[in-house]
């Protein structure tokens, strides 16, 4: 499903964490899916990775996985891994995964074949018990393309594009002038909780907290799918239900691929299709009431409080 480079960081809905997710590549970096022999074994674990399955509650699910280490990033806190199929969860893909103990990657090198546990909750995911089993010389694919459009700097006016929302209605970005707008890019079949699901979970939290703050009403959230062939208005309406979006405050939308590539490309969004899956990075953008770019979050690590602060500042901007 998703991929990312050093800035690619991939995030509960009834349709997004199903027993079997039909995906081929969840890359969070510039890498291709590498199919490897082996199987994934599922068991329960809690967040203390030193405990065994018998010690742990059921809120954490663990999968035993084989893969190839592609890169070590963030001083050992993240690992780009091309992993095998995980039966009952997801197909083979390349992912940038969190590591909670940097010793897990000690003495490992890119190209090492490894086994590891993938630990998943409704809203988080990470790996542990990483062990080297061999080496591989399999080539790394080229990164997904970024559309050649001029990058929009902070303060630049957002160009106008037409999208279609989850109600089947045409909406133009210019319609949001006078309101602070935050938009992010997703696709509904994204399975791993720290990628697209995190973006939507964060938006849900922002919607709730902004309403509670009563700081103003001139703001809107927009989740934009880059999978228009699958993410029809009907599909997006179903997908959005568990997030409980207020349609006056939060829309799900998509557009023709060319439109999404132009819009996303202005902020460095890159995504590439591989079967039913996408490799992609992450971008979240805040636009002020004058339609000017105010803030761009380049990864998945921003907090709802940060986006709320950016929205509130964008609501107060003057011409």
DSSP bridge pairs for 211:
none
Residue 260, C-beta contacts closer than 8 angstroms, at least 6 positions apart: 185, 224, 225, 226, 228, 254
pLDDT bucket at 147, cuts 50 / 70 / 90? low
What one-character DSSP code corresponds to residue 226? S
Residues 173-191: what's their mean pLDDT? 95
pLDDT bucket at 116, cuts 50 / 70 / 90? very high
Question: Is the Cβ–Cβ distance between 10 and 282 less than 8 Å?
Answer: yes
pLDDT bucket at 24, cuts 50 / 70 / 90? very low
Give the angle subtended at the CA of 161 by the CAs of 239 and 150, to the nearest 5°.
110
Tell me, yes or no, if the two domains 41-135 and 162-315 fold the same way.
no
Percentage of the chain beyond pLDDT 90 is 57
- Extents of the domains making up the chain: 41-135, 162-315
As a CATH number, domain 162-315 is 3.40.30.10
Question: Is the Cβ–Cβ distance between 126 and 153 less than 8 Å?
Answer: no
Alpha-carbon distance values, 208 to 79, 246, 304 (Å)? 33, 10, 10
Residues 123-152: what's their mean pLDDT? 77
Residue 190, C-beta contacts closer than 8 angstroms, at least 6 positions apart: 1, 2, 10, 11, 16, 26, 196, 197, 278
- Residue 190 has what pLDDT? 87
- Residue 26 has what pLDDT? 41
State the pairing for strand pair 93-98/78-83.
antiparallel
Q: Is the pLDDT of residue 65 over 90?
A: yes
pLDDT bucket at 85, cuts 50 / 70 / 90? confident
Which range has the worst mean pLDDT, 216-220, 267-271, 274-278? 274-278
Which CATH topology does 41-135 take?
OB fold (Dihydrolipoamide Acetyltransferase, E2P) (2.40.50)
Question: Could you read off the pLDDT of 220-270 as tens digits, one per residue?
Answer: 999 999 999 999 999 999 999 999 999 999 999 999 999 999 999 999 998
Render 111-135 in DSSP notation, one character per residue: TEEEEEEEEE-SS-EEEEEEEEEEE
End-to-end CA distance of the chain: 40
Q: Is the pLDDT of residue 12 over 80?
A: no
For tokens 């010690």, the residue is: 55
Identify the burial level of 42 via C-beta atoms within 10 angstroms of its C-beta, where 0-12 means exposed, 13-18 middle and 19 or more buried. Answer: middle
pLDDT bucket at 13, cuts 50 / 70 / 90? very low
- The reply to whether the predicted model has a pTM over 0.85 is no
């Amino acid at each position: 499903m998703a991929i990312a480079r050093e800035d690619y960081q991939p995030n509960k809905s009834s349709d997004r964490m199903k027993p079997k997710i039909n995906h081929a590549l969840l890359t969070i970096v510039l890498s291709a899916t590498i199919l490897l022999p082996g199987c994934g074994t599922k068991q329960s674990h809690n967040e203390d990775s030193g405990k065994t399955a018998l010690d742990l509650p059921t809120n954490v699910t663990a999968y035993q996985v084989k893969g190839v280490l592609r890169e070590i990033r963030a001083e050992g806190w993240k690992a780009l891994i091309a992993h095998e199929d995980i039966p009952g969860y997801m197909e083979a893909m390349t992912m940038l995964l969190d590591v909670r103990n940097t010793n897990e990657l000690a003495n490992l090198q890119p190209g090492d074949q490894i086994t590891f546990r993938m630990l998943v909750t409704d809203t988080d995911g990470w790996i542990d018990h990483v062990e080297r089993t061999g080496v591989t010389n399999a080539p790394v694919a080229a990164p997904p393309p970024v559309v050649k459009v001029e990058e929009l700097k902070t303060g630049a006016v957002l160009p106008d594009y037409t999208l279609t929302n989850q109600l089947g209605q045409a909406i133009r970005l210019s319609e949001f002038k006078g309101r602070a707008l935050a938009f992010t890019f997703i696709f509904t079949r994204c399975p791993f909780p720290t990628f697209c699901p995190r973006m939507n979970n964060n938006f849900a939290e922002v919607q709730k907290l902004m309403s509670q703050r009563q700081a103003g009403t001139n703001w809107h959230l927009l989740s934009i799918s880059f999978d228009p062939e699958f993410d029809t208005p009907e599909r997006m309406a179903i997908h959005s239900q568990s997030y409980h979006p207020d349609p006056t405050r939060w829309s799900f939308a998509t557009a023709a691929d060319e439109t999404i590539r132009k819009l996303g490309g202005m902020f460095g969004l890159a995504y590439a299709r591989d079967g039913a899956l996408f490799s992609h990075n992450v971008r979240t953008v805040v636009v002020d009431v004058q339609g000017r770019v105010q803030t761009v979050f380049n990864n998945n690590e921003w907090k709802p409080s940060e986006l709320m602060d950016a929205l509130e500042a964008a609501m107060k901007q003057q011409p």
